[in-house]
């Protein structure tokens, strides 16, 4: 598992976009109310508690950025997915909170 700061993820997503490479899956593992409050554009919500039931629907080889509020739940989910054989995972260190502070100051925070 790799760990990206918000700035590193932003730069990486811009690079992927410029190269017209496949974008990583942005997997948000927060609760629905958190996601409704704020989220990264293009992210897919699967709450942490539902990951075991939905892991089979995810591609273990697809590059996946796991996102939560501060980066703790996402790290735990990434570790769980690694145990299932997922090989291309990135944890957003600091979560959406860091994204809001460093990248998108107009994003709602909680």
Confidence of residue 84 (pLDDT cuts 50, 70, 90): very high
Looking at every residue in the chain, the average pLDDT score rounds to 97
Summarised one tens digit per residue, pLDDT across range 15-46 is 999 999 999 999 999 999 999 999 999 999 99
Of 56, 23, 29, nearest to 42 (Cα)?
23
Ranges of each domain in the chain: 2-102
Per-residue pLDDT, 97:
98
Paired tokens of 14: 């811009």
The residues annotated as belonging to the active site are 68
Summarised one tens digit per residue, pLDDT across range 85-109 is 999 999 999 999 999 999 999 999 9
For 13, other C-beta atoms within 10 Å of its C-beta total 17
Per-residue pLDDT, 11:
98
- CATH assignment, 2-102: 3.40.250.10
Per-residue pLDDT, 95:
98
């Amino acid at each position: 598992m790799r760990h990206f700061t918000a700035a590193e993820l932003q730069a990486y997503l811009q690079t992927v976009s410029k190269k017209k490479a496949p974008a990583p899956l942005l997997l948000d593992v927060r609760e629905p109310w958190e996601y409704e409050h704020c989220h990264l554009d293009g992210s897919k919500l699967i709450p942490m508690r539902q990951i075991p039931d939905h892991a089979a629907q995810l591609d273990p080889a697809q590059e996946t950025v796991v996102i939560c509020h501060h980066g703790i739940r996402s790290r735990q989910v990434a570790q769980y997915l690694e145990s299932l054989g997922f090989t291309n995972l990135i944890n957003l260190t600091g979560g959406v909170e860091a994204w809001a502070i460093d990248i998108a100051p107009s994003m709602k925070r909680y």
